[in-house]
Amino acid sequence: MKFKPQKAVLKNGREVLLRHVEVSDAQRVIDFVHGFVYDSEYVPLSEGEFNPTIAEEEQILSNYVERTNSLFLVAEIDGKLVANINVDGNQRKILRHTAVFGMGMHKEWQSCGLGTAILSAAIDWGRKNPELEILFLQVYADNEAGIALYQKMGFVEHGRIPNFFKQNGRYHDEISMHLSVK
Ligand SMILES: CC(C)(COP(=O)(O)OP(=O)(O)OC[C@H]1O[C@@H](n2cnc3c(N)ncnc32)[C@H](O)[C@@H]1OP(=O)(O)O)[C@@H](O)C(=O)NCCC(=O)NCCS
């Protein structure tokens, strides 16, 4: 289902454009992810693990464009990508009403309301999507901002796996959360 571009105003007064990614954004998305992924404490990717070619990234983005139960939103401020959320609708028939999502943003934009803006837009889209019924996620148990955001949006915890993430010699528990968008 298509996403209609929309604007939101952050706590610091800056205007952000929320829009669906396009295949032609592939290089910008790669650069954007490189700009935050390795210094985000709570993203389970090690240095050097995110290395798609442009052709591979174009294929990934075109899947989001084509799959009616999936979404890849980007947030732009002054024409620069600053945050994204990818909602991966399951492609199996029995699970097509479910989607798992992940999100990230550049550090300097954290705690300004950007997470709230982009996640609200994705949830609204999920509620209007005739296929989707359940959104779910996995989060580091010590990611206070992430968990606060998800709880604020109505997500409820349904499970925890101890020592799920093993990062730089340190273990972190995992929390699973879900939201009904039926
Ligand atoms: C987690 C993340 C998505 C949250 O987005 P954000 O834009 O920083 O969050 P918001 O500013 O919209 O704040 C949402 C809520 O989180 C809480 N919060 C925000 N910053 C916080 C902080 N530094 N510490 C604790 N709680 C915080 C507040 O309750 C806030 O609600 P309020 O604005 O109504 O008070 C973002 O910080 C991020 O991408 N972090 C790095 C990568 C990551 O953790 N991704 C998620 C993986 S599951």
Q: How far is the CA of 102 from the centre of ligand 1 (A)?
A: 13
Q: Which atom of ligand 1 is nearest to the CA of 112?
A: 11
128 CA to centre of ligand 1 in angstroms: 25
The C-alpha atoms of residue 26 and residue 10 are separated, in whole angstroms, by: 26
> What is the arithmetic mean of pLDDT over 149-176?
97
Residue 100: what pLDDT? 98
For the entire predicted model, the pTM comes to 0.96
**Between 47 and 6, whose confidence is greater?**
6
As a whole number of angstroms, the distance between CA 56 and CA 4 comes to 26
pLDDT of residue 41: 87
What's the CA-to-centroid distance between 71 and ligand 1, angstroms? 21
Is the CA virtual torsion 17, 18, 21, 22 positive or negative?
negative
Contact 76, 117 (CB under 8 A): no
Q: How far is the CA of 92 from the centre of ligand 1 (A)?
A: 32
Q: How far is ligand 1, taken at its centre, from the CA of residue 111, in Å?
A: 5
User: Is the CB of 176 within 6 Å of ligand 1?
Assistant: no
Distant-in-sequence, close-in-space partners of 27: CB < 8 Å, separation ≥ 6: 54, 57
Q: Tell me, in angstroms, the distance from the centre of ligand 1 to residue 93's CA.
A: 33
Report whether residue 114 contacts ligand 1, using a CB cutoff of 6 Å.
yes
Q: In a 3-state reduction of DSSP, which class is residue 62?
A: helix
pLDDT digits (tens, 9 = 90+) for 105-157: 999 999 999 999 999 999 999 999 999 999 999 999 999 999 999 999 999 99
* Domain edges within the chain: 6-129
Q: What is the pLDDT of residue 168?
A: 86
Which atom of ligand 1 lies closest to the CA of 42?
Answer: 44
pLDDT at residue 58, as a whole number: 98
* Whole-number average pLDDT of the chain: 96
The pLDDT value recorded for residue 47 is 86
Residue 38: is its pLDDT beyond 90?
no
| pLDDT confidence band for 40 (50 / 70 / 90) | confident
CATH number of 6-129: 3.40.630.30
Q: pLDDT tens digits, residue range 79-91?
A: 999 999 999 999 9
Considering only CA atoms, which residue is closest to atom 29 of ligand 1? Answer: 148
The answer to whether the CB of 139 is under 6 A from ligand 1 is: yes
Q: Is the CB of 104 under 6 A from ligand 1?
A: yes
